[in-house]
Amino acid sequence: MTEYNEDKIKTLSSLEHIRLRPGMYIGRLGNGSHPDDGIYILLKEVVDNAVDEFIMGEGERIDIAVAPNGDVAVRDYGRGIPLGKLVECVSVINTGAKYNTEVFQFSVGLNGVGTKAVNALSTRFKVIAFREGKFASAEFVNGELEKEDAGKTAERNGTLIEFSPDPALFEDFSFNFDFIRKRLWRYAYLNAGLKLFLDGEEFYSANGLLDLLDNEIEGTQLYEPVHYKDNTLELAFSHTDCYGESYFSFVNGTFTNEGGTHLSAFREGILKGVNEYSGKKFAGEDVRDGVVGTVAIKIKDPIFESQTKNKLGNTEIRGWIVNKVKDVLTDYFYKHTEMADVLIQKIQHNAKVRKDLQQVRKEAKVKARKVALKIPQLKDCKHHPAKNKPSREDRENMVFITEGQSASGSIVSARDPMTQAVFSLKGKPMNVFGQQMTLLYKNDEMYNMMRALNIEDSLGGLRYDKVIMATDADVDGLHIRNLLLTFFLHYFESLVKKGHVYILETPIFRVRNKQETIYCYSSKERTAAEKKLGGRGKKKLKVEITRFKGLGEISPKEFKQFIGPDIRLQQVNIDKLSDVPKLLEFYMGKNTPSRKEYIMENLVDKPLA
Looking at the domain assignment, is residue 549 inside a domain? no
What does pTM read for this prediction? Answer: 0.75
Looking at the structure, tell me whether residues 217 and 196 fall in a common domain.
no
Question: Is residue 551 one of the residues assigned to a domain?
Answer: no
| Run of H or E including 152 | strand 144-152
CA dihedral (187, 188, 189, 191) positive or negative? positive
pLDDT in tens, 477-515: 889 999 999 999 999 988 998 889 999 988 889 999 988
Q: What is the mean pLDDT of residues 506-530?
A: 89
**Domain endpoint, select from 295, 321, 353:** 353
Average pLDDT of the residues in 80-106: 70
**Model pLDDT, residue 100:** 46
- pLDDT value for 1: 57
Q: How confident is the model at residue 537 (pLDDT cuts 50, 70, 90)?
A: low
**Top-confidence residue, 286 or 99:** 286
CA-closest candidate to residue 61, choices 198, 212, 155: 198
Within a domain: 543: no
Which of 501, 384, 376, 397 has its CA nearest to residue 449? Answer: 376
CA-to-CA separations, 593 to 115, 475, 587, 599, 600, in angstroms, rounded: 56, 20, 11, 10, 11
Residues 105 and 161 in one domain: yes
Same domain, 432 and 402: yes
**Paired strand residues for 152:** 134
- Give a yes or no: residue 517 inside a domain: no
- The fraction of the chain above a pLDDT of 70, given in percent, is 91
> What confidence category does residue 217 fall into, taking pLDDT thresholds of 50, 70 and 90?
confident
CATH number of the domain within which 309 lies = 3.30.230.10
Q: Do 168 and 40 lie in a common domain?
A: yes
**Number of structural domains, the chain?**
3
pLDDT tens-digit readout, 358-408: 878 777 777 666 555 578 789 999 988 876 677 777 788 999 999 877 777
- Average pLDDT estimate for 456-466: 87
> Is 247 contained in some domain?
yes
336 with 266, same domain: the answer is yes
Same domain? 449 vs 501: yes
276 in the same domain as 191: no
Are 193 and 225 in the same domain? Answer: no
Structural domain contains residue 416:
yes
Mean of the pLDDT values across residues 338-345? 94
Of residues 281 and 5, more confidence is placed in 281
In a domain, 89, yes or no: yes
Q: Which CATH number covers residue 592?
A: 3.40.50.670
Half-sphere exposure of 61 (CA within 13 A, CB side): 8
The answer to whether residues 403 and 299 belong to one domain is: no
The span from the CA of 510 to the CA of 232, in Å, is 59
pLDDT for 587 equals 83
Per-residue pLDDT tens for 250-259? Answer: 998 888 888 8
> Of the given ranges (93-107, 213-227, 430-444, 454-468), which has the lowest mean pLDDT?
93-107
| Structural contact between residues 513 and 544, judged by C-beta atoms closer than 8 angstroms | yes
Domain boundary among 184, 204, 224: 204
User: Do 156 and 230 fall within a single domain?
Assistant: no
Give the end of a domain, one of 353, 386, 418.
353
Look at residue 2 and tell me if it is in a domain: no
Please give the C-alpha separations between residue 26 and each of 35, 145, 366, in angstroms, as whole numbers.
Answer: 13, 22, 47
CA atoms of 495 and 489, how far apart (whole Å): 8
Alpha-carbon distance 194 to 365, whole Å?
53
CATH of the domain at 180: 3.30.565.10
376 and 286, same domain (yes or no): no
Q: Is the pLDDT of residue 94 over 80?
A: no
171 and 241 share one domain: no
Residue range of the domain that includes 192: 14-204
